[in-house]
Amino acid sequence: MRFFFVLIVAVGLAISATSPGLAVEPASKFALVIGNAKYPDSDSALAEIVNDSQDIADELKRNNFDVEAGINLTREAMRAALDRFYRKIKPGSVALIFFDGFGIQSARQTYLIPVDAQIWTEPDVARDGFGLEAILSEMNTRGALVKIALIDASRRNPFERRFRSYSAGLAPVIAPANSLVMYSASLGSVINDVGTAHGLFVRAELRVADVELAQHVGGVARDA
């Protein structure tokens, strides 16, 4: 049993407990995976992001998601990818977004930052970034029964230091019902990238996936 399948089952069980009679159609699972590694304003590329995004996309495909993946997306490209993602969502479906890159908290909102953002003051964050709450709200409006956001963006970034003297991390999310939001660090905190093949967040997820798979295989062997 894979990690993401476990997540979806857990959310589905919560829905069943609160909304008897509702069911998620297994074939209607849609995901958008975005990995933004090359920010011109950053001193170095976040090399692990490409690997992270590819592995997450592969994991989702193995769990029968319809996946679109994009690397190093500009604001225009992110908007276009989000629009395509929204159009795919069907009433009663599962919709998942994974974002790996820079995120910024502003006015108690979390924003996902495209690679061509021009952020010099705090108001620029809302202008050039994409609000996570707005993304979840649109997923809900399009009819997604289960909304999942996996956000690996709790990093110190070159933009934030221009308008504040500390790293604020990411903000709490006011999400629609039947939503699951996971950050790579606790609220208001940031992580330190360690220059490995995978970031800490995705490495932890992949380890859990391996453990779940081993337990599943062991269970099958015992049953046989």
Per-residue pLDDT of the chain (224 residues; tens, 9 = 90+): 345 555 555 455 445 544 555 554 444 899 999 999 999 988 776 778 999 999 999 989 988 899 999 999 999 999 999 999 999 999 999 999 999 999 999 999 999 999 999 999 999 999 999 999 999 999 999 999 999 999 999 998 999 999 998 888 899 999 999 999 999 888 888 887 655 444 455 554 545 444 343 333 343 333 33
CA Rg value for the chain: 18
CA 56, 59, 60 angle in degrees (round to 5)? 90
The fold for domain 28-207 equals Rossmann fold (3.40.50)
Query: What digits encode the pLDDT tens for the residues 68-91?
Result: 999 999 999 999 999 999 999 999
Give the DSSP per-residue string, the chain: --HHHHHHHHHHHHHHHHSTT----TT-EEEEEEE----TTSSS--THHHHHHHHHHHHHHHTT-EEEEEES--HHHHHHHHHHHHHH--TT-EEEEEEES-EEEETTEEEE--TT---SSTHHHHHHSEEHHHHHHHHHHTT-SEEEEEEE--B--TTGGGT-SS----------SSEEEEESS-TT--B----SSS-HHHHHHHHHHHHHHHHHHHHHHHH-
Query: What digits encode the pLDDT tens for the residues 88-113?
Result: 999 999 999 999 999 999 999 999 99
